[in-house]
Amino acid sequence: MPKEATKSSRRKAAPKEKAPARGKAKKDKNAPKRALSAYMFFSQDWRERVKAENPDASFGEIGKLLGTKWKELDDEEKKPYAEQAARDKERAEQEKKDYDNKTRDSGSGDGDEDDDE
């Protein structure tokens, strides 16, 4: 015998309230740029050469070729790029420190901060 159609014993979930759309936070155009890695300096240096050697290569293929070339380099060949990266890291840290001090100084502007107590 077939079951009689009865009212379902399941309860319906309460309707969800939609949270207001927040959107993406705006980036500060004056914020300092991050430091580049040794590989990025290498890529900037070699990209045009790899493109010239492989004119039909797509963007992704060029990236793969650069990655392969980077892995083939020994530490001595990577050294100039690592030194560039170290200098750039120092630059980025200094710029970030200056930027943070500047934003902290102009932050709330109420003058009630007593950092030296």
40 or 19: whose pLDDT is higher? 40
Structure tokens at 89: 């890291």
Q: Are 79 and 39 in contact (CB under 8 A)?
A: no
Residue 69, Cβ neighbours under 10 Å: how many?
A: 14
Percentage above 70 pLDDT, the chain: 80
Quick: pLDDT tens for 50-81. 999 999 999 999 999 999 999 999 999 999 99
Q: Are 82 and 23 in contact (CB under 8 A)?
A: no
Structure tokens at 65: 């070729």
Q: What is the CA radius of gyration of the chain?
A: 28
Length of the chain equals: 117
pLDDT recorded at residue 5: 63
- pLDDT, average across residues 80-90: 97
In angstroms, the CA 78 to CA 45 distance is 12
CA-based max dimension of the chain: 86
Domains, in order of start, for the chain: 38-104 (1.10.30.10)
- pLDDT, average across residues 82-107: 92
48 or 103: whose pLDDT is higher? 48
- pTM (2 decimals)? 0.65
Q: Taking the C-alpha atoms of 42, 46, 51 and 54 in order, what is their torsion angle to the nearest 10 degrees?
A: -100
pLDDT recorded at residue 17: 73
